[in-house]
Amino acid sequence: MMQDTRALQVAVVGTGYVGLGTAIMLAYLGHHVVGLDVDENKVAMLRRGQLPIYEPHLDQLMLDSGDRLRWTTSYAEAIPDADVIFICVGTPPLPSGQPNLSYVADAAQSIAGHLNGKLQVVVNKSTVPIGTGDWVARMLEEHAPDYHEGRYLVVSNPEFLREGTAMHDSLYPDRIVLGSDSPVGIAQLVRLYEPLLDQSFEAPGYVPRPAGYTRPELVTTSLSSAEMIKYAANAFLALKISFANEIAGLCEWVDADIAEVTRGIGHDQRIGPRFLEAGAGWGGSCFGKDTSALISIGREYGYDMPILAAAVEINRRQRQLVITKLQQHLHRLKGKRVAVLGMAFKPNTDDLRDSPAHDCIARLGELGVQVVAHDPIAMPRAREEWRHLRYHEAASAEAALHGADAAIIMTEWNEYRQLDWAGALRRMRNPLVIDTRRVITAALPVGTVEQIGKRAPGVLVHEASA
């Protein structure tokens, strides 16, 4: 922990995935943090020590933050004493593809009304369009009751966390990006992140410091460049995934294996191995929203972005490809029972936003399929957020597979990797698995396992029992 003389008073507005991780991490580092949300039920949960989301080790880090962390619904309680104020509210996409900034506007205006005249830095942590930092600065100027020029500073500090490994990414980041036109604002954020920049904090045993890790890069730049860095990073990662999926389609025609191809090109240091996994396409709250936002921003200036548009189209095609593969094997889907394993958009999270499994279940329902779904973590959240879909829950992966005409693996949970697949396939009515995430790695004595980017094998011995 840092010495208390270096501790800052911090307010974090918004307790979603980004806000919770930011608040808990900063409190663990020794700062005094107030997390603020207008949702009274969510704040009540947090005050009881309960998290409204699932993220590995986040609950442990919150417990270790002790009394340096508290929660409120009151701007009057959180803002006046804060040295640094983070805006971590949602920016969901509008039908046009542009992000909805109404939550950012509400937060900025509410913050402005409670600033107290001392030096206070307002940090845009939410993913926002280029120019939003200037827009927030104008709102502070217009709505602060006693505006002081040079006292209320705006800094862009985009987050680069991966859900499922957010605590590791928070404590041991690749880089910290700070964008502002104010050197004073940058200096205050450097002070805030000093324990991370120096790696002077005691690493928790449940999220150990990686071997060979030294310190993150500090990138200081302008407001607009920092905002563009966030969009460009996510867009490039989405491009890598869509590229791998496009090559995977050709691999199936020429009898190549996409896993071997990406392993071969990934050793090229100019390319790297990460985000080259072919499958059912990307999902989550970032890639789709951010690529659409960049395309929309370009459209405002009459600037086409055909590469990004192609990445979005390939991702849409991958979701239909899963259904096409199923139809190629079963031909008629109406009345069939299909197990869908995995509902969250990736493992180690319960986040269902833009999950490929959602589109898969929805399309299967339209085709008259009886869907039985399972996820180790995300089923309780799906009961609330996927009420519009028709499916039955299974208590386990084995229960979902029993008597099924086919199975689709949509999320690469370790639970599915460790499953006795040979035994499970024998209990299916028809032992067919569309494995979109390369979960099954060993040859099986029964059934057919088809994977993305690999020529479909011939049907093996059919020994399934009803």
Known binding residue 117? Answer is no
Cβ atoms within 10 A of the Cβ of 131, count?
Answer: 12
Known binding residue 281? Answer is no
* Residue 441, token pair as written in the block: 């790695």
Cβ atoms within 10 A of the Cβ of 457, count?
Answer: 12
Known binding residue 346? Answer is yes
Known binding residue 337? Answer is no
* Residue 382, token pair as written in the block: 């799906």
Known binding residue 353? Answer is yes
Active site annotation includes 88: no
Known binding residue 127? Answer is yes
Known binding residue 276? Answer is yes
Known binding residue 230? Answer is yes
* Residue 175, token pair as written in the block: 């880089």
Known binding residue 275? Answer is yes
* 121 Rama sector, left if φ>0, alpha if ψ -120 to 50, beta otherwise: beta
Known binding residue 196? Answer is no
Grouping H, G, I as helix, E, B as strand and the rest as coil, residue 220 is strand
Known binding residue 6? Answer is no
- 193/413 Cα distance (integer angstroms): 33
Cβ atoms within 10 A of the Cβ of 387, count?
Answer: 7
- 271/273 Cα distance (integer angstroms): 7
DSSP per-residue string spanning 108-172 = HHHHHTT--SS-EEEEE-S---TTHHHHHHHHHHHH-TT--TTTEEEEE------TTSHHHHHHS
Known binding residue 162? Answer is yes
Of 88, 251, 286, 360, the active-site residue reads: 286
Known binding residue 336? Answer is no
- 426/447 Cα distance (integer angstroms): 8
Known binding residue 119? Answer is no
- 386/375 Cα distance (integer angstroms): 13
Binding residues for substrate, by number, are 160-163, 230, 275-279, 283, 346
Residue list for the binding site: 37, 42, 91, 127, 160-163, 230, 275-279, 283, 289, 346, 353
Which sequence positions are flagged as catalytic?
286
* Residues of each annotated binding site for NAD(+): 37, 42, 91, 127, 163, 289, 353
